Structure 1
Amino acid sequence: MTLTHPAYGQLRTVTPNASVLLADNPGQMTLDGTNTWILKAPESAEYVVVDPGPKDRAHVDAIAEATGGAIALTLITHHHHDHTGGIDRLVDLTGTVVRAKDPTFLRGTEAALADGEVIEAAGLRIEVLGTPGHTTDSVSFVLADGVLSGDTVLGFGTTVLESRPGALADYLASLDRLLAAGDGRPLLPAHGPDHPDLGPVLRYYIEHRHQRLEQVRAALAELGADAGPMAVVRKVYADVDKKLWPAARSSVQAQLDYLRTN
């Protein structure tokens, strides 16, 4: 029987070069859980792992078992603990080298990931695409048969942005870059189901961000130009579970900064 998402702890083939192991860490911010992507060309005896997932012994052990420990390289999309918590156990089990944009998560190398870099491993050509917005260190990985988008684009729902100045401008640019690089290729996100074509999802994301900006503009027209982020959240996200309002506040702060500086 063909596996479908979500399939906890089971290696599910998605494309000829990409399979996924779903960590059993569902939640409001992780959706069904964290997807660990396991990549290799059919002729390769080695693997590339993307995001070892949370600090979950069973999940990391499943990664080691699925790869037979033959991991040429582990790549990190961004620093959040549900993507990086499993790094050290995976290194202990397999000796894998780990590369990330944030040097904190490098293991066995001093080479941080660089935008535009091309990595050749496990018979694959992997292009590194800097896609900040969700976090400053967010990167995506472009393969011939898929785009691994980390948390920049999810399998369903939308992405929380950093509250730092410039986050939304960075994020909109990241969406444009991803669309240009991956239109027509499968979307392989870090949370939620994969999609056969990245294009429609990216276009929805871009439209959604511009709709939210218009909603924030309308809220400011009613509340006053100097309204704070939580006042805007209460207006714009009135129909959203209040447990999600702190995350919404971060995105609204990014939108307010964008509107006040552009």
Structure 2
Amino acid sequence: MVTPAPAPGRLQRSSALTGFILAPNPGPMSLEGTNSYVLRAPGNPGAVVVDPGPLDEPHLQALAAAGPVELILITHRHADHTAGSARLHALTGAPVRAAGAVHCHGGGTPLEDGEVLSAAGVEIRVLATPGHTSDSLCFHLPGDGFLGAVLTGDTILGRGTTMLDYPDGTLGSYLASLDRLEALGPATVLPAHGPVLPSLEEIARAYRSHRLERLEQIRAAVDRLGRDASAGDVAAVVYSDVGPSVRRAAETSVAAQLHYLRGVPPQQ
């Protein structure tokens, strides 16, 4: 049985402490759209919004109505997560916080790895998880149900695999981030795109296995094509089955893996 896709504009429950409103921005990279999460403890009138999504007025009005919004958090810099953040601040007065100052608004300050936040009755632990982008963050909710939950942004998706936005995102950093997430155990996975998943540790292991398998395929392609083969040449071999709508993403991920194979240290 195929589970129907969630409807944009309606708050849907995703865990004990979270719900999400699906943004109306479906596409090859965003799947059904961006999951804009609303966090609050039971009985608490406030709310925290994670990833406001695109600059779409009805979507942002729906997020504002889920409040009063106390805080707005960003998992990473891509526009399908950040474009609506300044407008949501204007609607709610809530500060926007992200890893980079350029995406902070309304007096919000950059988030730090290991920082512990408390808003709307929810404890939120900030985890730096670079790889998809250099500024990627995950948000651990240790009190969300018996096993906790983690908002994974685009570091782990609800379906498919994550693009490494090289040169900003690197494979070495990404593998280290997967190790860090696996260590959180069987927490619920709350991705920014696609459905909620069980057991973060299992998903992180599966993601690592997939990456290492792809890495071997790319190594074999380089052996055949020559060490100076371009990312496009290698992608044509390894990702021969992907359509044109995701070809650029495939080439970018290949570039990240070639960078890793060629022994260049990941960006800090």
TM over 0.5: yes
Matched, 1:172 2:175: yes
TM (norm. structure 1) is: 0.94
- Matched residue SS, 2:106: coil
The whole-number CA distance in structure 2 between the counterparts of 1:199 and 1:156 is: 16
Counterpart position of 1:186: 188
Counterpart position of 1:131: 129
Counterpart position of 2:150: 147
Counterpart position of 2:58: 58
For these two proteins, the number of residue pairs brought into alignment is: 257
The whole-number CA distance in structure 1 between the counterparts of 2:49 and 2:4 is: 20
CA displacement, residues 22-68 of structure 1 (integer Å, 9 cap, x when unaligned) = 0111001111100000001113221111000101111001101122x
The whole-number CA distance in structure 1 between the counterparts of 2:254 and 2:61 is: 39
Aligned-partner residue type, residue 49 of structure 1: V
Match of 1:115 among 113, 116, 121: 113
Aligned-partner residue type, residue 114 of structure 1: E
5+ residue gaps, structure 2, are none
Conserved 8 A contact 1:134-1:162: yes
The whole-number CA distance in structure 1 between the counterparts of 2:217 and 2:188 is: 31
Aligned-partner residue type, residue 200 of structure 1: E
Q: Post-superposition shift, 1:165?
A: 7.4
Aligned-partner residue type, residue 87 of structure 2: R
Aligned-partner residue type, residue 219 of structure 1: A
Matched, 1:211 2:213: yes
The whole-number CA distance in structure 2 between the counterparts of 1:213 and 1:165 is: 19
Matched, 1:102 2:110: no
TM (norm. structure 2) is: 0.92
Query: Percent of aligned positions with the same letter in both sequences?
Result: 50
Q: Post-superposition shift, 1:14?
A: 1.5
Aligned-partner residue type, residue 216 of structure 1: I
Q: Post-superposition shift, 1:233?
A: 0.3
CA displacement, residues 92-125 of structure 1 (integer Å, 9 cap, x when unaligned) = 1110111000101111225200111111111111
The whole-number CA distance in structure 2 between the counterparts of 1:166 and 1:107 is: 24
Conserved 8 A contact 1:18-1:39: yes
Aligned-partner residue type, residue 246 of structure 2: L
Aligned-partner residue type, residue 45 of structure 1: P
Match of 1:253 among 240, 252, 255: 255
The whole-number CA distance in structure 2 between the counterparts of 1:152 and 1:243 is: 20
Counterpart position of 2:17: 17
